[in-house]
Structure 1
């Protein structure tokens, strides 16, 4: 049982963190309704897990996760709650006077970045040995998919009752389905990232958390002198790259905590170490990517976190813009700044867990301060709720930072 819990710990964490961030840290629900996390978890957590698992199984990275998060946002708000079409959704008149476009961009962005991307990023950083590996086998994915369908239907049925059985028209529903399918297709048609794009030469640290001067790791987990792997290209028995560049089986790490695995993040049943190594080295992508890396410096995690906070501030400023077009611009520009800078910095040598946690943490804390402007209960309950949620967010970031520095083992998930 402890081994099973260890293997499923990131799954359970993401399953419950997604609704906690997506609905509660946002400020929509007071602390007295915290039990509703379990109600929202099958839909929110199920979606985040499915997005993350299919992305990592396909050897893809954050562009795919973000696009699938966007598809999820369109799915939820177009088909489940139908808020994109209901002019009197929860008696809020969200679609009046051009506000339809404003609401579309705003609410879909909330799901893309906060309901999906932030929870995925935080849980992945808390499990460094499994950060870009699948966490579930096909049986586990099937269970999650069933939970997602059941949870989505439950939320759909509840919204029907709350909105007097209002239903979107047939063309509206068909258009939503088409939009979701297009976004999913584009997400998986994007070029796969080369190994260095996601974690390879960028931000690789040796046993002491430092970058060495060259491109090969020696027996200590640092890079050696030649810029290439050893003569065999095979994995050895020790869990490290030694003088010959050998590695062990794909599911263990050596002492070098920061040394990430090769690009062997396909289906869990692919366990032939030699075949996986040859597949990633033989196509030449890794070498080309390393050569294409920028040698400029990367900012610290504090700087990337500040950038994410500023992007979130611009995004939330859209809510007080007097003109809806200016609000839409703020909703688009704020995240775009963060995405563009992240894409630029992540191509530089030195990009790593600290910087990624800064981006995720700054984005998360946007909800923490913005929640104090939300009202869902009495003033006293709201205030207590927002303080608790903010402290929980800070505690979560501290916990993730600690986990990033704690060695963990990537268990076999072929039967999960």
Structure 2
């Protein structure tokens, strides 16, 4: 059973970061069943991606690709929030809708899944178990069991949102999303065994300090979260503005990180700093999303736990 402890922690951390810490699940009688269902969806998805990546020696860039495909399946196929102009709680209407796709919502929610739902929880969990960081945590039976639970949860989400929203996107849009997700998955897994095992040669330049990495992740995430919160309810502008802002910040941060990780002195301190900056975004913006005194106090407790986790990981580093 001790062998499965990292799996259980990742099952919990993934929905905790993606939903609970962001303030999307209020403190009421529905919290436990909602969180358990999110474990079956987010948690098993994160475990599945992590186990595939470690078996194929994939880096975190490839993990993010798989996480992006995960987001496409959830938001494009299961909930269909990418296409529904009246998606519950979103209130965007036709703002940003072009060719049946909401291009204002898509960068935010897919970025959220790519980083906060999957990649960040995997990274944090692996830091808790440094000696088993690159090892698979599940055997074949566990992999199949986890995969089946994920598929059942994804299928259940499809029927749940069809019932809740009474909305179904056109078969063309659904087929396009499925095709794009499959192409991304195949591209992420296409590396040959030799290339995935190749050792990166450090560059000649020095990476910036961990504080710069932390602030970059914090500000980059703040722009992504802030754009979602400000447009169009607070700031009125054509939908192309928030889309281009999100696209620009995603490209900028991804470019900086891709350059930094090739520097000769890039190490765990820098990577943990990036993760800390990203996690602090959910801590901060969760206070804007959590409504009411009870939920604010609840979020404060969760935030203290998240900061405590970061402090522990920095102390152990």
- Counterparts of 1:177-188 in structure 2, within 5 Å, are 177-188=178-189
Q: Distance in 2 between matches of 1:171 and 1:106?
A: 23
1:391 aligns with 2:304: yes
Give CA deviations for 1:165-187 in whole Å, capped at 9, x if unaligned.
32222222212211111111121
Report how far residue 122 of structure 1 moved. 0.6
Q: Which position in structure 1 is the counterpart of 2:22?
A: 26
- Counterparts of 1:144-293 in structure 2, within 5 Å, are 144-163=146-165, 165-189=166-190, 285-286=198-199, 289-290=200-201, 293=202
Report how far residue 144 of structure 1 moved. 0.6
> Do 2:95 and 2:104's aligned partners in 1 also have CA atoms closer than 8 Å?
no
Q: Which position in structure 2 is the counterpart of 1:204?
A: none
> Do 1:317 and 1:330's aligned partners in 2 also have CA atoms closer than 8 Å?
no
Partner of 1:295, secondary structure, is coil
CA spacing shift, 1:301–1:91, aligned 2, 3 Å: closer
> Do 1:126 and 1:401's aligned partners in 2 also have CA atoms closer than 8 Å?
no
1:302 to 204, 211, 221: 211
Report how far residue 91 of structure 1 moved. 6.2
Partner of 1:31, secondary structure, is coil
CA spacing shift, 1:18–1:354, aligned 2, 3 Å: same
Q: Distance in 2 between matches of 1:397 and 1:193?
A: 34
Q: Which position in structure 2 is the counterpart of 1:16?
A: 12
RMSD: 2.1
Q: Which position in structure 2 is the counterpart of 1:318?
A: 227
Give CA deviations for 1:64-88 in whole Å, capped at 9, x if unaligned.
1111111011100111111112222
1:359 to 274, 298, 305: 274
CA spacing shift, 1:314–1:191, aligned 2, 3 Å: farther
Q: Distance in 2 between matches of 1:167 and 1:194?
A: 41
Give CA deviations for 1:345-396 in whole Å, capped at 9, x if unaligned.
2112222211111111110111111112214x4x212321331222121022
Report how far residue 15 of structure 1 moved. 0.8
Report how far residue 193 of structure 1 moved. 8.7
CA spacing shift, 1:337–1:388, aligned 2, 3 Å: farther
Q: Distance in 1 between matches of 2:16 and 2:271?
A: 21
Report how far residue 318 of structure 1 moved. 1.5
Instruction: Give the TM-score of the pair, scaled to structure 1.
Output: 0.68
Q: Which position in structure 1 is the counterpart of 2:124?
A: 122
CA spacing shift, 1:91–1:8, aligned 2, 3 Å: closer
Give unmatched runs, 5+ long, in structure 1: 196-262, 264-284, 406-416
CA spacing shift, 1:333–1:191, aligned 2, 3 Å: farther
Q: Which position in structure 1 is the counterpart of 2:94?
A: 96
Q: Distance in 2 between matches of 1:330 and 1:386?
A: 28
Partner of 2:154, secondary structure, is helix
Q: Which position in structure 2 is the counterpart of 1:80?
A: 78
- Counterparts of 1:359-378 in structure 2, within 5 Å, are 359-375=274-290, 377=291
CA spacing shift, 1:193–1:393, aligned 2, 3 Å: farther
Report how far residue 157 of structure 1 moved. 2.6
Q: Distance in 2 between matches of 1:297 and 1:97?
A: 43
CA spacing shift, 1:388–1:333, aligned 2, 3 Å: farther
Partner of 1:89, secondary structure, is coil
Give CA deviations for 1:112-154 in whole Å, capped at 9, x if unaligned.
1110111011111121112222111211110110110122222
Instruction: Give the TM-score of the pair, scaled to structure 2.
Output: 0.88
Structure number with higher relative contact order (C-alpha < 8 Å, ≥ 6 residues apart) = 2
1:64 to 62, 65, 75: 62
Report how far residue 106 of structure 1 moved. 1.4
Give unmatched runs, 5+ long, in structure 2: none
The structure with more radius of gyration: 1
Give CA deviations for 1:180-209 in whole Å, capped at 9, x if unaligned.
1111112123577968xxxxxxxxxxxxxx
Q: Which position in structure 1 is the counterpart of 2:254?
A: 339
> Do 1:25 and 1:371's aligned partners in 2 also have CA atoms closer than 8 Å?
yes
